[in-house]
Structure 1
Amino acid sequence: MKFQLESPEHQLIAIKSVVGIFDGMEKNSSNNAQKEDIYTNVCSLYPQQIWSNIHKIAKENSIDETDIHFKETNDVCIEMETGTGKTLTYLQTAYALYKEYGLTKFVVIVPSIPIRQGVIDTFENFKDQLADKYGFTPNTFVYDSSRLSKLRDFITQDYPQIMILTMASFNTEDNILNRKEQEGLFNNSPHIESLGQTHPIIFMDEPQEGMDTENSVAWLSKLQPLFKIRYSATHKVKWNTIYRLTPAESYRLGLVKKIEVLTVAEKNDEATMKIELSAVQEAKSEPKVKLKFWKLNKTKGRFEFKESGFLKKGDDLAAKSGNDSYADFTISRIYKQMSNHRWMVVFTNGTSIEEKQTSANKEQVWGLQLEWLIRRHFDNTTRLKPQGIKNLSLIFIDRVANYMSVEHPIIKQLFEEKYKQLYPEYHKGKQPMEEQVEAVQGYYFAKTSQGEYTDSEASMKGNKEIYDQILHRKEFLLSFDSPIEFIFSHSALGVGWDNPNIFGIATLNESFSENKKRQEIGRGLRICVNQEGQRVYDKDDTPEDDLINQLTIVPNETYETFARSYQAEIAEDYGSPDAGPKMKPTHKGKPTHRVAFKLNGKDSVQHAFQEFWKRISRLTTYRVHFDEDHWSIGASRPSTP
C-alpha cells in the first residue's frame, strides 16, 4: 500500500504563507549563491521588506495583530493541529522555495529519534508522487556522523538538499559536527561553521521540545539560518505567527476525526484511585488530615504519589498538589463516622475517601476499559471493513511487565478474557480460536542492550529499532493482510508516531497519567485511509451515528476530569478553552446529557441571600436524642424573633 498524495487547502495555504515571506526576492543561481567551495542560500530583500511581507501574510490569514507576536527576527511560526500533515507541509515548502526562488539548503531539526524517523518515512512514502508534482527530487538524508561525505555534498552542491538531524547531533562541543575538518577542506574549520555559511532554511519540528533553551538557541545560531520556520500545534515561543490552524477549526473543516470520550470510572472510583487518607490530627476546633496524592515534583518535572502536609476544610487539592486533575477536589468536611469509627474526608464534588480504604481495584477499572474498547472495536469493524478500511485500536500501558511478564501478565490476561467473552456477541455465537486471539495482538516495547524489556523513557527515545518497526510497518498494519487489530505500546512512546486508522485508544496506567490529553488524542486524530491508501472523508451532512472518522478515547477517569484537563491545555495554548473541538461524552456506552448551572454573580443577589441566612441560622435550635437501637433526630420549631 502507498499513501496517496493530496493537496488539501490548509496545507497549500501554509506553504504559500512561507513562500510569501520572500516575495520580491531575486532568484538564487550560481551567479549569486556560489561562494568559493560553498553553495549558499542568499536573500536580496531588506529586513523591512520581509517584515512587511510577514504582516501582509498574517492579515491575509485573518490573524489579529495581537496574535502575530511580531518581532524583527528571522523566525516565524506555523501552527497546525496534530494530525493535519505538518511534516508533509514543510517538506513541500522546501520544494516550493526551490521552484520559486532557487533556495537549495534546508535543514529539518527534530527533538527525538521517533520524530526523525517519521520525517524520513513521510519523504520515502511520497517522494515519487512529489517528483511528479514538482519535477525533481531533493537529496534528502538523515545526518550521520560516520558518513560525512553527505554533509560535504550538502555544503558544496547546487542541487536542493534536505538534511534531517536531532538537536543532540550538534548541541555539545564533543559532537563530530563541531570538530575541525581534518582533510584540508573548508580551511580546516569545523563542519558546523561551513554548514553555517550555507545559510540554510531551518524547519523546526516541535520546537517547544527543547529547541528554545539557552544552550539550544546558542547552537542553532551557529547554523546562521537564512530563516527559521517553526511547526507545531503547541508553540511555547511565539514569534511572527503567519498561519494558524486551531483544533476547533480542524474539527469544523473535517480535517481530523471527531472525538468520543467513553468513560467507565464512577466519581468515587476516581477519588480512591487518586487519593489515600494516610493520617489524621484530631483537634478541639477542627481536625486535619494528611492525604497521599499525585503531586508535581517541580525539580524532576513529573508527578509523584506523595504524602501532603496537614490539610483542613476548604483546602484545594489542585492548588496543594500542582495537579489540575484535582480541580474539583476541595475538602468540604472531615469527620469520624459513628458506624465504624473511621475518619472520612468529603470533597465538594461529592466524592469521599475513608481512613484505611484501599485504592480502587485498578484491575477492575482496566477490565472495564478493555471491555468497552473491544466493544467499540467490534462495532467499528462491522461498519468499516465493507468500506475497505482496516480498524485498529491502541492500548497504552506504563509497565511492560503487565503485558509481557511470564508470571502475571495481567493486562494481556484481561484483554484475552474480555475478547473471548465479547467475540460471540458480535460473531453469531462463534468462539474465537486461540491462535486468532493471539494474532490480533501486536506490541511495541523497547529493550535494553541485554535484551530485556524496559520502562525507561530514555531507552524508549533512543531505541531506533522499535520506531523502525512502528513506522516501517505502518502500511502493513493498515492492510487486511495483517491480522493485528490491537496494538499495545508503552505510554512513553506516545510522542512521534501515529496511525490514521486508530479508532480507539485506552490508557491503562498503574499510576497517574502524565501524558497531555492532546498528546494521547493526537495518536489517532488523522483521517483514515482505505486499502488503496486513499483518505476517506465524512460528508458534511453525515449523521453522528454514521460517522466513519470518530476516535473513541477510553480514559481511567471521569468525563469531567478528562474534559477539564483537555480544556486547560487548550486554554494554555490558545487563550480560551473554546479553541478546542467538541467532544461527545458517553458513560459505559450510553450518551450522557448534562445541564450546566452557573452561579448568579450579581453582588446584590449574593448579599441578599447572606443577610437572609444570617437571620434564620441564629433562630434555629436543635435537640438531638440518641437511641441504642434506633437513631432519631428531631429539630424544634424556630424560636420567635
Structure 2
Amino acid sequence: MGIKLEELAYQQTAIKSVVDVFDGTVKNTFDNSSNDGIRSNRISLTEQEIQENIKSIIQENGIAEEIAKLTPEHELTIEMETGTGKTLVYLKTIYELYKHYGFTKFIILVPSVAIRQGVLNTLETFNTQLEGIYGFTPKAFEYDSKRLNKVTNFIEEQHPQIMIMTLASFNSEDKILNQAQREDLFANIPFIEAIGRTNPFIIMDEPQEGMDTPNSIKQIKKLNPLFKLRYSATHRVSKNKLYRLTPYDSYKEGLVKKIEVLTVTEKNDEATLKLELSEVKFGKGDPKVKIKAWHQMASGKIQFKNTAWLKEDDNLGEKTNNPSYLNYKIQRIHKSLRTQKWSVTFYNGTEILEKQASGNIQSIWELQLEWLIIRHFTKKQKLQEQGIKCLSLIFIDKVANYVSDDPVIKRIFIEKYKTLYPEFHNNQEPSAEHIEHIQGSYFAKTGKGEFTDSESSMRKNSDVFDAILKDKEGLLNYGDSVANKIEFIFSHSALGVGWDNPNIFNIATLSNSYSEIKKRQEIGRGLRICVDNKGNRIYDKPDVSDADRINQLTVIPNETYETFVTQYQEEIKEVYGTQTAGAGMTHTHKGKPQNEVRFKRNDNENINKAFKRFWAALAKKTNYTVAFDEEALVERSREALNQIDIADYVAEVNSRSISAISEEEFKDEFGGSESYKLKASYTALDLVEELSENTGLSYTTTFSIIRDIEHAHFAKNPPQFIHRASALIKNIELEEMLRGLDYHLTNEVFPFDFDDFVKQLDDKRYTLTPKRGVFDKTLVDSEVEHKFALTADNDDEVVCFLKLPSYYKIKTPIGEYEPDFGIVMKRKNLKDGVESEFYFVIETKGTNNINDKKSLKESEVYKIKCALKHFEALGVDVKYKAPVKEYDYFKTEAQKDINKVQQA
C-alpha cells in the first residue's frame, strides 16, 4: 500500500507563494553557482525586487501588510493548520525551486525525533510519485555525525540535496560540525562554514519549538541561509507571511476531520478539580506553597499553572488575577503530625493536600477510557466496511501509570476493553495476547531500567519506534506485523507535536489535572483526512449527515466543554487575533515604570494639632479574652450539619459536535449526555480526622458533633461534605467566639511615626489630597478608596484625614485586622457656638451592608465585628464605621453620632 499523492488547490497556492518570491532570478547552473568545489544557491534579484515580489504575493493571497509583518530579512512564513499537509507542501516546494531556478541545497531543520521521522516517512511514501511528476529525485538523508561523507556530498553535489537535521546537531560549539581542529575537515575549514558557503534554504519545521532562542538564531546564522522558510500552524515569530490557512478555513472547507468533544467531568466537587498543591517550601520563616490554578493572563488567555510562592493570608484570586478564586484566601499552611502530609486550608473551608490528584481522577480515567473504547469499536465497525483502519491515541499523565509495577492506566484500559469487547464482537471474549497486541506505547527503557518517552531512549527501542514512527503505512492496515495489530497508541508527550496519522479517529487526554498539551497540538494528531487500505484519501461529501460522516475526530478531555473550547479558542486568537483581541494586546506589555513618589506631611498647623489629638485617642492598644461555650458549639454544629444537602457526586459525559470554528466563536450541536455516580472511599474516621484538622477542634469534640448527624449526604460526596461542614463549623466557632469575646485596654500604645516617606508606585496607587490630608497624597488600594479620599479632601467639615498606617493592627482571634481611614470632623453647636472635634475610623468595602455576603467574605465580617468591640473598649471618643462604600453614606452615619453628642 502507498498513500496516493493528491493535487490539492490550497497546497499548490502555498507552494507557488514561495516559488514566486524568486520570480525573475537567473537560474542556477554549474557555471554561475559553483566555486572552489562548492555548489551554492545564488539569486540575482535586488532586495527591492524581492520585496516587490513578496508584496505582490500577499496581495494576491489577501493578506494585509500588517498581518504579513513585512521585513527585509530573508525569511518567509507559511502558516497551515495542523493536518493539512504542511510537510508535503515544503517537500514539493523544494522540487519546484530546483525545477524553476536550479536551487540545489536544502536543509530541513526539525525540533524532535518524531518530526524528523515524519519527514523521512513522507519522503519515502511519496518518493516514486514525486519522481513521476518532476522527473528527478533529490538526494535526501538524515544528518549523522559519524557519516560526514554525506555532508561532503551535500556541499559538492550539483544534484539537489536535502539534509534533515535537528537543532541538537550543531547548537553548541563542541558539536562536530563546529569543530575547527579535525583531520577530516572540508578544505581545512569547519563543516559548518563549508555548509554556509552553499547558502542553503533552511526549512524550519515547527520553528516555535526552540528555533528562535538567541543561541539557536546564532547557530543557524552560521549556516548562512539564502532564505529561511518557516512552516507551522502556530508561529510565535512570523516574518513575511506569504500564505495562511486558518483553522476556520480548513474546517469550513472540509480539509480536516470534524471534531466531536466528548467531555468527562466531575460535578459537585469543583474545588478539588480546580486546585492542586504542587510545591511546599519550608525552613527559615513561615512555610510557603505553590498552587496550581487557573490564571487569567494579561492577554485574556486562561492558563492552568503554578502560582508564585504564597503565604498565609494571600488571596488566590488576586495572585491569579482570576475572580473565581477571590473567596480563596489562605488561612493555614500545615503539615499533619499524623499523616506527615502538607495541606493548605482556605478561609472558605476548602482544603487541598500536597501532590494529591485533583478530584476522583481514576474514576474519570475509567469513564474516559470506557468512552474511547466505545467510540473506537463503533467507528471500527463502520470504517472496516470501507477498508479504513481505526486508530485511537491516548495521552497519559506519566509513564509510570502505563509501564510500572502498578500501571494503573494500562490496568483500567484492559479491564474496560475486556468488559466492552463482547458487546461489539458477538459475545466473544478477547484473548490476553490480542489485548496486548492492540496496544502500542511510545515509551522506552533507559539504562537504569526506568521507562521514558525521551527521544534518545526511543532510538534504542527499535520495535516500538519502527511501529509507531517509521511504519506509518503498517499502522494504516490490518495484518500480522507489529504495526498492523496496533489500534490504541499510548504516549506521554513525545507525540504531542509533529507526529500524526490520518487514521487517528479518537484522542483521550488522561491527566491528574487539566490537559497540559495545547489543544491545537492535542487534536492536531488526528485532524488529517483518513486513508483507506489502498492509500486513497477518503473525503466526506459536503452535505453528509453526522450519522454517515467518516472523518470525525472524537476528543475526550477530562474538563468541561466550555473550558476546552475557551482554551482552544484562546490558542487560535493567540496566533490569528481578532479585532477585540488585537485591541487587548496592549495589556501584554508592561505598564509605564513605577515612579519614586514622595509623600509630604501637610504643613498646616491646625491639621497637625488635630491629628495629634486624634492619634492620642486612637493609639491605645487592646487585647482580648474569649469565653467559649463548647456545648452550644456542639449543638449548633450538629444542627447545621444536618441541614447540609449534597448533590450526588457524579461524573458527567457530554457530547458536542463542533460545526464551525472561527476566531470569534465556535458553533456546535449537542449530542447527548450521561451521568455516572462516583464511589467515595471515605470512612467516619476520615470525617472525624479531617473535620478536626480543618476546624482545630479536638477529636472528642468533633466526634460529639458528628455522632448523631445524618450520614447519607456525607456518603454521596465526602470531600464536598467535609468542605461545607468545615466552613459551617468555623462560622459557628466564630459566632460563639464573638459572644464571649471581650476587649480590654493594655498599657501600650501605637507609636507616633508620621514623617515624610517615599514609595515606588504608579499614579493609580495614590490620590492627591493637598487640602485636608495629613499627607499631600493618600495611598489607595481600590477605586472605592480613591473616591473616598478625594471626597474627604473636599469636605469643609473635615479637619484632617489619612489612610491609617500598616502597623496599626487590631488583634482578633482570626488574625490581625487593619482598618482603612481615620477622619477628624468639626461641628459648631448651634446652642452655645462651641466647636467640637469628632473622631472616626472607617473600613471601606464594596458595600454598605455588613450582611451582604456577595461583597464580604465571612472572615471580613468577623474582623469588622471584632473591631467594633475593640473601639468600644477605647471609649466614646472614636467611632468605628464599617463597612462603607460611599463617602455620602459615611457622612450620613457620622451625622447621627454628632447629633447624639450635641443633643446630650
Residue 551 of structure 2 corresponds to which residue in structure 1? Answer: 549
Q: Is the 8 A contact 2:357 2:512 kept in 1?
A: no
Please state how far the C-alpha of 1:6 moved relative to its aligned partner: 1.0
2-structure distance, mates of 1:459, 1:168: 12
Of the three residues 434, 437, 445, the one matched with 1:436 is: 434
1-structure distance, mates of 2:83, 2:33: 37
The answer as to 2:135 corresponding to 1:140 is no
1:495 alignment partner AA: V
Q: 1:290 to 1:31 in 2, by over 3 A?
A: closer
Q: Is the 8 A contact 2:357 2:513 kept in 1?
A: no
Residue 540 of structure 1 corresponds to which residue in structure 2? Answer: 542
2:230 alignment partner AA: R
Q: 1:307 to 1:427 in 2, by over 3 A?
A: farther
Of the three residues 412, 415, 439, the one matched with 1:414 is: 412
Of the three residues 305, 309, 330, the one matched with 2:325 is: 330
1:19 alignment partner AA: V
Report Cα offsets for 1:63-86 as digits up to 9, x if no partner.
Answer: 012101001111110001111111
Q: 1:562 to 1:310 in 2, by over 3 A?
A: farther
1-structure distance, mates of 2:537, 2:258: 15
1-structure distance, mates of 2:205, 2:121: 15
Residue 598 of structure 1 corresponds to which residue in structure 2? Answer: none
2-structure distance, mates of 1:366, 1:184: 55
2:395 alignment partner AA: F
Q: TM-score, normalised by structure 1?
A: 0.81
| Structure 2 unmatched runs, 5+ | 279-287, 298-302, 332-343, 582-661, 676-846, 854-904
Q: 1:563 to 1:460 in 2, by over 3 A?
A: farther
Residue 515 of structure 1 corresponds to which residue in structure 2? Answer: 517
Please state how far the C-alpha of 1:344 moved relative to its aligned partner: 7.7
Map 1:457-476; keep pairs closer than 5 Å: 457=454, 465=462, 466-476=464-474
2-structure distance, mates of 1:136, 1:589: 55
Please state how far the C-alpha of 1:218 moved relative to its aligned partner: 1.4
Residue 123 of structure 1 corresponds to which residue in structure 2? Answer: 123
2-structure distance, mates of 1:528, 1:547: 12
Map 1:162-561; keep pairs closer than 5 Å: 162-180=162-180, 182=182, 186-269=186-269, 271-275=271-275, 292-294=291-293, 303-304=305-306, 308-310=310-312, 316=317, 320-321=319-320, 329-332=324-327, 353=350, 359-406=358-405, 408-454=406-452, 457=454, 465=462, 466-481=464-479, 482-561=484-563
Please state how far the C-alpha of 1:307 moved relative to its aligned partner: 7.1
Q: 1:189 to 1:112 in 2, by over 3 A?
A: same
Which stretch has the larger CA shift, 23-32 or 485-494? 485-494
Please state how far the C-alpha of 1:590 moved relative to its aligned partner: 6.4
1:537 alignment partner AA: Y
Report Cα offsets for 1:296-324 as digits up to 9, x if no partner.
Answer: 9x9xx9945987434678x53xx6348xx
Residue 573 of structure 1 corresponds to which residue in structure 2? Answer: 575
Please state how far the C-alpha of 1:399 moved relative to its aligned partner: 2.0
Please state how far the C-alpha of 1:492 moved relative to its aligned partner: 3.8
Please state how far the C-alpha of 1:111 moved relative to its aligned partner: 1.3
Q: Is the 8 A contact 2:394 2:490 kept in 1?
A: yes
Secondary structure at the residue paired with 1:259?
A: strand
1:331 alignment partner AA: L
Report Cα offsets for 1:486-518 as digits up to 9, x if no partner.
Answer: 112223432221111111111111345321111
1-structure distance, mates of 2:392, 2:78: 30
1-structure distance, mates of 2:547, 2:323: 32
Q: Is the 8 A contact 2:292 2:305 kept in 1?
A: no
Q: 1:179 to 1:585 in 2, by over 3 A?
A: farther
2:663 alignment partner AA: A
**Over the residues paired in the alignment, what is the CA RMSD in angstroms?**
3.4
Q: 1:398 to 1:72 in 2, by over 3 A?
A: same
1-structure distance, mates of 2:461, 2:230: 25
1-structure distance, mates of 2:115, 2:352: 46
Residue 595 of structure 1 corresponds to which residue in structure 2? Answer: none
Report Cα offsets for 1:378-432 as digits up to 9, x if no partner.
Answer: 22112211111111111111222222223x2221221122222222333344433
1:552 alignment partner AA: T
Secondary structure at the residue paired with 2:265?
A: coil
Q: 1:423 to 1:103 in 2, by over 3 A?
A: same
2-structure distance, mates of 1:37, 1:433: 63
2-structure distance, mates of 1:387, 1:261: 24
2-structure distance, mates of 1:64, 1:358: 47
Please state how far the C-alpha of 1:467 moved relative to its aligned partner: 4.0
Q: Is the 8 A contact 1:400 1:445 kept in 2?
A: yes
Q: 1:85 to 1:620 in 2, by over 3 A?
A: closer
Indicate the percent of aligned positions where both proteins have the same amino acid: 52
Secondary structure at the residue paired with 2:486?
A: coil
2-structure distance, mates of 1:459, 1:303: 28
1-structure distance, mates of 2:378, 2:540: 18
1:175 alignment partner AA: K
Residue 21 of structure 1 corresponds to which residue in structure 2? Answer: 21
Q: 1:91 to 1:580 in 2, by over 3 A?
A: farther
Report Cα offsets for 1:26-57 as digits up to 9, x if no partner.
Answer: 11111211112111111011110000000000
Higher relative CO (CA 8 A, sep ≥ 6), structure 1 or 2? 1
| Structure 1 unmatched runs, 5+ | 279-288, 337-341, 347-351, 592-615, 623-641
Q: Is the 8 A contact 1:260 1:583 kept in 2?
A: no
Q: 1:183 to 1:109 in 2, by over 3 A?
A: same
1-structure distance, mates of 2:415, 2:549: 29
Report Cα offsets for 1:548-583 as digits up to 9, x if no partner.
Answer: 111111111111111111111111111138338847
1:46 alignment partner AA: T
2-structure distance, mates of 1:190, 1:265: 57
1-structure distance, mates of 2:671, 2:41: 57
Which stretch has the larger CA shift, 259-268 or 154-163? 259-268
1-structure distance, mates of 2:242, 2:66: 12
Q: 1:51 to 1:619 in 2, by over 3 A?
A: closer
Which stretch has the larger CA shift, 478-487 or 256-265? 478-487
Which stretch has the larger CA shift, 487-496 or 175-184? 175-184
2-structure distance, mates of 1:366, 1:311: 35
Report Cα offsets for 1:75-131 as digits up to 9, x if no partner.
Answer: 110001111111111111110000001111111111122211111111011111110
Q: TM-score, normalised by structure 2?
A: 0.58
2-structure distance, mates of 1:358, 1:109: 38
Q: Is the 8 A contact 1:261 1:583 kept in 2?
A: no
2-structure distance, mates of 1:141, 1:478: 25
Q: Is the 8 A contact 2:505 2:553 kept in 1?
A: yes
2-structure distance, mates of 1:292, 1:39: 57
1:258 alignment partner AA: K
Q: Is the 8 A contact 1:460 1:492 kept in 2?
A: no
Please state how far the C-alpha of 1:343 moved relative to its aligned partner: 8.1
Residue 70 of structure 1 corresponds to which residue in structure 2? Answer: 70
Secondary structure at the residue paired with 1:225?
A: coil
Q: Is the 8 A contact 1:389 1:530 kept in 2?
A: yes
Please state how far the C-alpha of 1:525 moved relative to its aligned partner: 0.8
